Structure 1
Amino acid sequence: MDLRVFTEPQQGATYDTLCTVAKTAEDLGYDAFFRSDHYLKMGDADGLPGPTDAWITLAGLARETRRIRLGTLVTSATFRHPGVLAIEVAQVDAMSGGRVEFGFGAGWFESEHTAYGIPFPAEKFPRFEEQLAIVTGLWSTPVGETFSFSGQHYTLTDSPALPKPAQSRLPVIIGGMGAKRTPRLAAQYATEFNVPFQSPEASAEQFERVRKAAKDAGRDPQDITFSNALVACVGASDAEVAERAAAIGRDVDELKANGLAGSPDEVADKIGRYAETAGTSRFYLQILDLSDLDHLELIAQRVMTQLG
């Protein structure tokens, strides 16, 4: 079971804070450091000192880390033109020596678009589908050949399709609970499928839809990694769990029901239920208090060691 650190910097984090968390995660043996792609805080957080851009952050981390994989959960298709996005991600992959993973979604948070003057189209999914075709098409076009695309929303003509990622196949992560279009796109493009903030049973149902879509597309479902993302709140004692829950403004019982909360043994057992029920082989631990590095250490020493 891979354990990955997943952060929400729009709630309030500087690049230096994110760099400290990423380096700590690397030193503790986590598989990857991921961040969201948002420009506006959510809920009661003050969001200070303000947002950091996902791909600028990962470019910096690419040069300041050595082993840990880096990615987004997920990049919003509404924020960047697909041609520019393909260049950015390929460049960061090269800067990291081939450690980038590309989580990609249609975009959903209208308020951040309004706040920063970013268009928020009514029909996001068709644009997302075209962007997937363009970004992956640019990356897979052989060097020396050109890439063209003519769609309803985007047109590319004789692109040199450069630069290329360092990885021969840069991992693409698609996720969500859509019942039809999402599994179809995952079957076509994804190396990993992620379900965020759902139960083992709901995850199993969605994973099965993706597996069926893969089979229908003539693809082996075993080629796809299935993952979950849940908020983490782990403590060596009940008091420590309560303290960490209070620090992120959440209730312990709610976190135990909907996240990965409690003692290390409780959390390891719940991760095991996801593996058994849904076939999950990777977890993104949403870490909301980025100042609490002891939390990362406890999970590494007392949870990760139980998972093998």
Structure 2
Amino acid sequence: MYVHCFAHQLQLTIVSVARRNCMLGDFFDILAIIVNLVGASCKHIDSLQISYQANILEKLNIGELTCGSAITDDISQALQKKDQDIQNAMRLLNLCKCALQNLRENGWDTLLSRVIEFCVDRHVLVFNMEDIVLVKGRPRRVAQQVTYFHHFYVDLYCHKIDSILQELNDHFPETTTELFTCISCLSPRDSFAAFDKDKLLRLAQSYPLDFNSEEFLLLRTQLDKFLLLVKIDETLFNLNSISCVVQKLVETRSSCYFSLVYRLLTLALILPVATASVERVSSSMNLIKNDLPNKMGDGWLNDNLVV
């Protein structure tokens, strides 16, 4: 089985939502131009930091600017860690969805009051929410006439949050999250506190070519014995990752006696390959593997990649 990099999937969610709305698309296009302009020169970066540092500190002090994190920031950071905690990432994903749903149901009034306050402070005209507005993008003769409240709340606010939730569900399907949740049961942290035999059996069912019906029945017994082993064998204490468990099983030759559990562990080690760490390795490889090195032999190219 194969799972795409979760951090990349989160990025694709933002891209998909932005492409569906011209206003969001224009915002990210302008943002990309600014980042490229500033990032292309060390002098630009220094000038920007010097000119805005005092202004930002002043706004933070008076409460006009907040330094809180975005709703998806926690899960984004969790998915990009080198030592990825899958169980925690799944928990943060569900929390992100709940926060977005809560924002849709209860966040409009707070946002509207902040926007109105922002406009008043800067002498920007504030629309009457009950006035009629013509929806753009349609011929005037058939354009739908709605209030500003309907346009901003229904067409923009609710629609965009619904789009984000839909994209999250599409890029993080239930089968994938279930797969990673089952794998997290093999984590040795806190003396295998997350161990769950039923979930591990469901994980084995995802690999019918690796576990036939007879082996599946034997796996139940091996999982019970394996749980007893990790509770009494000191060599399996204080481990931090599934790979460490596999290594200890091989060193102590326990992999021979728990062959089916060992097989399940090795299958679990395959999926986390598709994480941000490997994505970064691929990006680094592209710095070396360009048109010229493509003409090299495999041996020379491999030696360069080691460096």
User: Which range, TM-score by smaller chain?
Assistant: under 0.3
TM-score of the aligned structures, taking structure 2 as reference length: 0.23
Q: TM-score by structure 1 length? A: 0.23
Q: Choose between structure 1 and 2: higher strand proportion.
A: 1
Q: Which of structures 1 and 2 has the larger relative contact order (alpha carbons within 8 angstroms, sep 6+)?
A: 2
Q: Which has the higher helix share?
A: 2
Larger Rg: 2
